């Protein structure tokens, strides 16, 4: 059969951000995929070198519009490690709270996008409507719906008042109820299952070899979650287990994300119960002593990795960011090869790709 | 007078108005089901006018004569088929023996229009979409045709007005041949390429499929082709399965009076909108299938039951 | 924590048959191990066998005379290992680890784009992040390029 090469991207309705996949297909079967990145490259790693640490944190927050808190948090943790600062306990809990709220909003966003990719627009509309609940909570706590600017080097910028905490508890109850419903729809609606079951299978061995991270790896039964493997912030005091699935297909990734949403709601509620009193930040010096360090955080999409080398001035000498989407591309190529052309968009979407993260 | 029939009412102009209204109705219903506000009533008209006034781009490698004529051809075929579906009475002006076959034939033309569109545009999404149109055609076309022929076998006539008369005397065919009715609805979903059978122009996979390269006027014509086809299909199914202008008790009460055509007309419009409503609910409730799943599903759940239905009709009819 | 950083370093030194130039602890649970560039593939394979199955990423940085490559590995529990190696800036060539560690493919291509390091034996080399019309031989993360940009920025205010 004749081979046909067609592009998905850089401009394509299935992709919300520009990135190029050249798919070679024989009939309806994908035989080869070529990825080209860089369509939203903003040279953030280089831009950080020309800015001081405080500015750098804001620049890094703009790597991603969805998991922005994780980026500023990871950056701050790396710099705090270089400064040997001990962050107040309350700030650690608040960081976890915002991170988990962000996870809820990101996973709900993903569920809507995934439903849209397979043509199930009703679920998409419903999920995104209820995502507004968590967006409102984030806006109430940080003042913004995206790019919260919540973390600062040495703590957090804003405190949580008791009134806010009450509103959070209420909002989380609504979210739990709605997520319960979406879990039921996503795991029982037969025409949806037809499109996700057995699609884009990634075996456990492949997931390990190709370095998959986040829900993509956990859906292939790799229990790797930076929150529990390398606990940071308040996570050492919170006792949870990584959520895994042994399905390895798009359905597995859906289930993992939905269950993680529940887990995030649990964590938020526990954080609100256990939130210690006290300061929310300590003063940080603008000059950072010479050295190098590494920080790992679990973003909604997987592990975020920062490497920072300082040269003793107020500007870093090297900032390296590894985002989860970039780590998941080799696994995505493996999933796409041999798949149906019709399944390509949902397979690409199933890793919850963030092209801005990928390119930086 | 025939010219008025063809061009104004119930011909082309009325068809356009009805099609645009049905499109609005469909969009509004889907929007409300999806918890959205939905468009205002004039939105489809505004869309059409906007598209008609937009720049008409023809890609460099496209076959110009074909690309220019094919969309017109599709709309013309659907408009022609509309003349043969009775709008308010069972004594239809244009009726003749075999008009059911003609309507079925004319309603198949839009699929071929899409095939030609994809074939003559140099776009890879177009080629894939064309392949899918043809594959999907094998899935729904046979059961759809058989589903419409089942009542015809029962009434022993290929004439739509005879089917209407038969339903006046007996029950509506939706009650006599329910399987055929359901299969016809599913077949219509496939014909109109709506969710879950919107595979040939699946937005997130192959953009607009065969229509990817078409803009402005031509795209407006293609959109109109689909909305008019929706109306024709809905009126046709309303006529064949839901008794067309016939309303129990009411029709008998007003028979012979001046309001009889009006009542019949309203009955047809409401029944057609009911069919559109069913299509909207299906659209809101389901996920798009993959082409292989679609063909397999059509064979097991459409072709097989409709054959049983026809067998049943033949056996009962011969007794 | 399963084992302390010191224990891990001790274990590495005992088990790895090749040459280890230097070890140091970074942060809470990261070990930086410097090895010669010629043995990088062997060392990465060794780390994977020892349970650091996940290649987090490869960091490349221009130190002037040399380009430093950091292969960050982690396993299912701390500590994590980073293999550090240096190659000359004039002749930036190193063996690709992609044939043995498929996860490295994107990271190596990116470093090739941004720092001009040639990874010999990469199964699918080629531009990844830079546009097709980017001039040959200009590597945005090299020190001279960073310097040029800084000068241009200060001129433009």
What DSSP assignment string belongs to B190-229? HHTT-TTS-GGG-HHHHTTGGGTT--HHHHHHHHHHHHHH
- Please name the member of C53, C78, C104 whose beta carbon is closest to the beta carbon of A230: C78
For residue B126, the distance in angstroms to the closest alpha carbon of chain A comes to 10
How much is the average pLDDT of A279-293?
83
Tell whether the model's pLDDT for residue B309 goes beyond 80.
yes
pLDDT at B276: 92
Q: What residues form DSSP beta bridges with C10?
A: none
Q: What residues form DSSP beta bridges with A304?
A: A297
Q: Whole-model pTM? A: 0.84
pLDDT at C4: 75
* Contacts with B202 from chain A: Cβ below 8 Å: 119, 342
Are A28 and B289 within 8 A, CB to CB? no
- To test the contact with chain C by mutation, choose from A294, A295, A310 the residue with the greatest count of C C-beta atoms within 10 A, namely A294
pLDDT at A1: 53
Closest CA to A356 of A156, A205, A146, A159: A146
How much is the average pLDDT of B34-49?
89
Tell me the C-alpha to C-alpha distance, in Å, between residue B118 and each of A119, B70, B130, B247, C104.
22, 11, 5, 43, 40
A203, A252 Cβ separation under 8 angstroms: no
- To test the contact with chain A by mutation, choose from B204, B207, B209, B290 the residue with the greatest count of A C-beta atoms within 10 A, namely B204
The encoded tokens of residue B152 equal 């015809």
Chain C residue with the nearest C-alpha to that of A236:
C1
* Contacts with C153 from chain A: Cβ below 8 Å: 50
- Residue A342 CA to residue A348 CA, distance in Å, equals 11
* Contacts with B127 from chain A: Cβ below 8 Å: 4
Which residue pairs, CB below 8 angstroms and at least 24 apart, start in C14-20? Answer: C15/C46, C15/C50, C16/C43, C16/C46, C18/C42, C18/C43, C18/C46
- Please name the member of A12, A13, A125 whose beta carbon is closest to the beta carbon of B35: A125
For B180, residues 6+ apart whose C-beta sits below 8 A from its C-beta are B146, B147, B148, B150, B151, B173, B241, B306, B309
Q: What residues form DSSP beta bridges with A320?
A: A307
For B311, residues 6+ apart whose C-beta sits below 8 A from its C-beta are none
pLDDT by residue (tens digit) across B70-106? 888 888 888 888 888 887 777 777 788 888 888 888 8
A199, A348 Cβ separation under 8 angstroms: no
| DSSP assignment of B272-291 | HHHHHHHHHHHHHH--PPPH
Residues of A with CB under 8 A from a CB of C: 35-38, 41, 43, 45-46, 49-50, 81, 208-211, 213, 223-224, 229-230, 291-296, 303, 305, 307, 309, 317-318, 320, 322, 326-327, 329-330, 359
Contacting C residues, span 64-123, partner chain A, CB-CB under 8 Å: 70, 72, 74, 76-78, 80, 82, 101-107, 110
For residue A303, the distance in angstroms to the closest alpha carbon of chain C comes to 9
A151, A54 Cβ separation under 8 angstroms: no
* Contacts with A133 from chain B: Cβ below 8 Å: none
Chain C residue with the nearest C-alpha to that of A211:
C103
Are A330 and C105 within 8 A, CB to CB? yes
For residue A200, the distance in angstroms to the closest alpha carbon of chain B comes to 14
- Please name the member of C59, C77, C129 whose beta carbon is closest to the beta carbon of A41: C129
Compute how many other C-beta atoms are within 10 angstroms of the C-beta atom of residue A123.
22
pLDDT by residue (tens digit) across A324-349? 888 888 888 888 888 888 888 888 88
Compute how many other C-beta atoms are within 10 angstroms of the C-beta atom of residue B49.
12
pLDDT at C1: 44
Compute the mean pLDDT over every residue in chain B, rounded to the nearest whole number: 84
- Residue A131 CA to residue A133 CA, distance in Å, equals 5
Tell whether the model's pLDDT for residue A306 goes beyond 80.
yes
- Please name the member of A38, A50, A318 whose beta carbon is closest to the beta carbon of C153: A50
Q: Please check whether residue C26 touches A, CB under 8 A.
A: yes
For A231, residues 6+ apart whose C-beta sits below 8 A from its C-beta are none
- Residue A340 CA to residue A177 CA, distance in Å, equals 35
Are C77 and A307 within 8 A, CB to CB? no
- Residue B117 CA to residue B211 CA, distance in Å, equals 7
Number of domains present in the structure of chain B: 1
Chains in contact with A, counting 3 or more C-beta pairs less than 8 Å apart as contact: B, C
C52, C77 Cβ separation under 8 angstroms: no
Element (DSSP H or E) covering residue A190: helix A190-196
Are A14 and B204 within 8 A, CB to CB? yes
Are A191 and B35 within 8 A, CB to CB? no
* Contacts with A356 from chain C: Cβ below 8 Å: none
Closest CA to A311 of A294, A295, A293, A291: A291
Residues of A with CB under 8 A from a CB of B: 4-7, 12-14, 25, 27-28, 115-122, 125-126, 129, 189, 191-192, 194-195, 340-345
Are A303 and C56 within 8 A, CB to CB? yes
Closest CA to A150 of A53, A41, A68: A68
Looking up tokens 């990584």 gives A242
pLDDT by residue (tens digit) across A177-235? 889 888 888 888 888 888 888 888 888 888 888 888 888 888 888 888 888 888 888 88
For residue C77, the distance in angstroms to the closest alpha carbon of chain A comes to 6
Are B196 and A119 within 8 A, CB to CB? yes
Q: Identify the domain containing residue B167 by its residue range.
A: 2-318
* Rg from Cα positions in chain C: 17
For residue C62, the distance in angstroms to the closest alpha carbon of chain A comes to 9
User: Between vectors from CA C62 to CA C56 and to CA C65, what angle results, nearest 5°?
Assistant: 135
Kindly give the confidence (pLDDT) of every residue in chain C, 157 residues in length, as a single tens digit, with 9 standing for 90 and above: 456 777 777 777 777 777 777 778 887 788 888 888 888 888 888 888 888 888 888 988 888 888 888 888 888 878 888 888 888 888 888 888 888 888 888 888 888 888 888 888 888 887 888 888 888 888 888 888 888 888 887 887 6
pLDDT at B120: 81
Whether chain C lies against chain A with 3 or more Cβ pairs closer than 8 A is yes
Tell me the C-alpha to C-alpha distance, in Å, between residue A210 and each of A327, C77, C132.
8, 19, 27
pLDDT at B83: 82
Compute how many other C-beta atoms are within 10 angstroms of the C-beta atom of residue B109.
19
- Residue A329 CA to residue A347 CA, distance in Å, equals 11
For residue B174, the distance in angstroms to the closest alpha carbon of chain A comes to 26
Closest CA to A331 of A356, A344, A348, A343: A348
- Please name the member of B195, B196, B290 whose beta carbon is closest to the beta carbon of A343: B290
- Residue A20 CA to residue C146 CA, distance in Å, equals 28
Cis, peptide link before residue A246, omega less than 30° from 0: no
- Residue B61 CA to residue B120 CA, distance in Å, equals 9
Q: Please check whether residue C50 touches A, CB under 8 A.
A: no
Q: Which residues of A317-347 are buried (b: 16+ CB within 10 A; e: fewer)?
A: bbbbbbbbbbbbbbbbbbbbeebbbbbbbbb
pLDDT by residue (tens digit) across A10-38? 878 777 778 888 888 887 788 888 888 88
Chain A residue with the nearest C-alpha to that of C71:
A307
Are A307 and C150 within 8 A, CB to CB? no
CATH architecture group of domain A43-325? Orthogonal Bundle (1.10)
Closest CA to C143 of A318, A312, A79, A57: A318
* Contacts with A121 from chain B: Cβ below 8 Å: 34, 195, 284
How far from the centroid of its chain's Cα atoms is residue B97's Cα? Answer: 21
Half-sphere exposure of A53 (CA within 13 A, CB side): 29
For residue B41, the distance in angstroms to the closest alpha carbon of chain A comes to 21
- Residue A4 CA to residue A1 CA, distance in Å, equals 9
- Residue B251 CA to residue B267 CA, distance in Å, equals 10
- What percent of chain B stands above pLDDT 70? 99
Chains in contact with C, counting 3 or more C-beta pairs less than 8 Å apart as contact: A
* Contacts with C103 from chain A: Cβ below 8 Å: 209-211, 327, 330
How much is the average pLDDT of A264-293?
86
User: Between vectors from CA C123 to CA C122 and to CA C129, what angle results, nearest 5°?
Assistant: 70
Q: Is residue B126 classed exposed, middle or buried when 0-12, 13-18 and 19+ CB atoms within 10 A define those classes?
A: buried
For residue A325, the distance in angstroms to the closest alpha carbon of chain C comes to 11
Q: Which domains does chain C have, with CATH numbers?
A: 5-155 (3.30.460.80)
- Residue C142 CA to residue C129 CA, distance in Å, equals 16
Instruction: Say how many CB pairs under 8 Å bridge A and B.
Output: 78
- To test the contact with chain A by mutation, choose from C47, C57, C69, C82 the residue with the greatest count of A C-beta atoms within 10 A, namely C57
For B190, residues 6+ apart whose C-beta sits below 8 A from its C-beta are B136, B139, B140, B141, B144, B197, B294, B298
Tell whether the model's pLDDT for residue B319 goes beyond 70.
no
- Please name the member of A210, A296, A320 whose beta carbon is closest to the beta carbon of C59: A320
Q: What residues form DSSP beta bridges with A25?
A: A4, A30
With H, G, I as helix, E, B as strand and everything else as coil, classify residue C145.
helix
């Amino acid at each position: 059969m004749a081979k046909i090469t067609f592009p998905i991207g850089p401009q394509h309705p299935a992709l919300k951000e520009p990135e190029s996949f050249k798919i070679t297909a024989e009939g309806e079967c994908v035989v080869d995929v070529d990825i080209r990145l860089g369509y939203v490259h903003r040279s953030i790693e280089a831009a950080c070198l020309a800015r001081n640490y405080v500015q750098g944190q804001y620049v890094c927050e703009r790597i991603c519009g969805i998991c922005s808190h994780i980026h500023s948090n990871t950056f701050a943790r790396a710099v705090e490690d270089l400064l040997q600062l001990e962050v107040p306990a309350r700030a650690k809990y608040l960081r976890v709270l915002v991170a988990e709220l962000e996870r809820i909003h990101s996973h709900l966003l993903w569920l809507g996008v995934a439903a849209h990719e397979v043509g199930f627009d009703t679920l998409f509309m419903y999920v995104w409507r209820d995502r507004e609940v968590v967006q409102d909570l984030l806006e109430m706590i940080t003042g913004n719906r995206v790019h919260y600017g919540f973390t600062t080097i040495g703590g957090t910028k804003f405190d949580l008042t008791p009134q806010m905490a009450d509103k959070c508890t209420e909002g989380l109850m609504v979210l739990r109820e709605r997520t319960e419903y979406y879990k039921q729809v996503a795991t029982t609606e037969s025409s949806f299952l037809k499109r996700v079951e057995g699609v884009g299978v990634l075996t456990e061995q492949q997931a390990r070899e190709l370095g998959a991270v986040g829900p993509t790896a956990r859906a292939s039964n790799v229990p790797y979650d930076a929150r529990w493997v390398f606990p940071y912030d308040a996570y050492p005091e919170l006792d949870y287990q990584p959520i895994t699935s042994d399905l390895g297909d798009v359905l597995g990734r859906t289930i993992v994300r939905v269950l993680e949403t529940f887990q995030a709601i649990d964590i938020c509620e526990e954080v609100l119960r256990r939130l210690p009193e006290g300061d929310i930040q300590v003063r940080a010096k603008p000059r950072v002593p010479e050295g190098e360090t590494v920080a790992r955080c679990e973003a909604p999409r997987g592990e975020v990795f920062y490497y920072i080398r300082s040269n003793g001035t107020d500007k870093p000498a090297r900032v390296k960011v590894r985002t989860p989407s970039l780590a998941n591309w080799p696994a995505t190529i493996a999933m796409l090869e041999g798949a149906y052309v019709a399944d390509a968009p949902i397979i690409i979407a199933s890793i919850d790709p963030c092209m801005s993260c990928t390119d930086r | 007078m025939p010219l008025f029939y063809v061009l104004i009412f119930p011909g082309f102009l009325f068809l356009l108005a009805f099609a645009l209204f049905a499109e609005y109705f469909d969009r509004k219903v889907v929007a409300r089901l999806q918890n959205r506000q939905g468009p205002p009533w004039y939105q489809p008209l505004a869309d059409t006018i906007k598209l008609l006034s937009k720049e008409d781009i023809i890609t460099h490698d496209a076959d110009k004569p074909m690309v220019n004529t094919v969309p017109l051809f599709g709309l013309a075929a659907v408009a022609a088929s509309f003349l043969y579906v009775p709008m308010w009475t069972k004594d239809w002006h244009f009726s003749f023996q075999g008009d059911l076959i003609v309507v079925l034939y004319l309603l198949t033309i839009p699929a071929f229009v899409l095939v030609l569109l994809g074939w003559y545009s140099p776009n890879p999404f177009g080629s894939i979409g064309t392949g899918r149109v043809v594959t999907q055609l094998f899935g729904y076309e046979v059961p759809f045709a058989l589903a419409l022929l089942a009542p015809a076998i029962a009434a022993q006539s290929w004439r739509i007005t005879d089917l209407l008369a038969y339903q006046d005397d007996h029950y509506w065919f939706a009650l006599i041949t329910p399987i055929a009715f359901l299969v016809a609805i599913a077949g219509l979903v496939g014909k109109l390429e709506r969710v879950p059978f919107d595979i040939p122009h699946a937005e997130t996979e192959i953009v607009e499929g065969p229509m990817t390269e078409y803009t402005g006027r031509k795209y407006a014509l293609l959109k109109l082709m689909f909305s008019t086809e929706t109306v024709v299909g809905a009126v046709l199914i309303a006529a064949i399965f839901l008794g067309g202008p016939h309303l129990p008790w009411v029709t008998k009460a007003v028979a012979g009076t001046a309001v009889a055509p009006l009542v019949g007309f309203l009955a047809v419009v409401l029944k057609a909108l009911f069919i559109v409503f069913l299509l909207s609910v299906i659209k809101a409730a389901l996920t798009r299938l993959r082409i292989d799943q679609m063909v397999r599903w059509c064979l097991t759940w459409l072709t097989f039951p409709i054959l049983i239905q026809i067998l049943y009709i033949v056996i009962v009819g011969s007794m | 924590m399963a084992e302390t950083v010191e224990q891990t370093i001790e274990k590495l030194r005992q088990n790895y048959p090749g040459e280890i130039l230097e070890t140091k602890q970074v942060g809470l649970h990261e070990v930086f191990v410097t090895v010669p560039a010629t043995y990088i593939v062997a060392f990465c394979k060794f780390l994977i066998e020892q349970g650091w199955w996940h290649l987090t990423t490869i960091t490349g940085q221009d130190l002037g005379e040399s380009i430093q490559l950091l292969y960050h590995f982690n396993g299912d529990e701390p500590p994590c290992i980073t293999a550090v190696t240096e190659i000359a800036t004039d002749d930036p060539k190193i063996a690709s680890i992609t044939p043995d560690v498929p996860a490295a493919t994107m990271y190596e291509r990116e470093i090739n784009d941004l720092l001009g390091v040639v990874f010999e034996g990469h199964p699918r080399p080629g531009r990844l992040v830079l546009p097709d019309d980017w001039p040959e031989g200009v590597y945005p993360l090299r020190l001279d390029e960073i310097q040029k940009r800084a000068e241009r920025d200060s001129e433009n205010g």
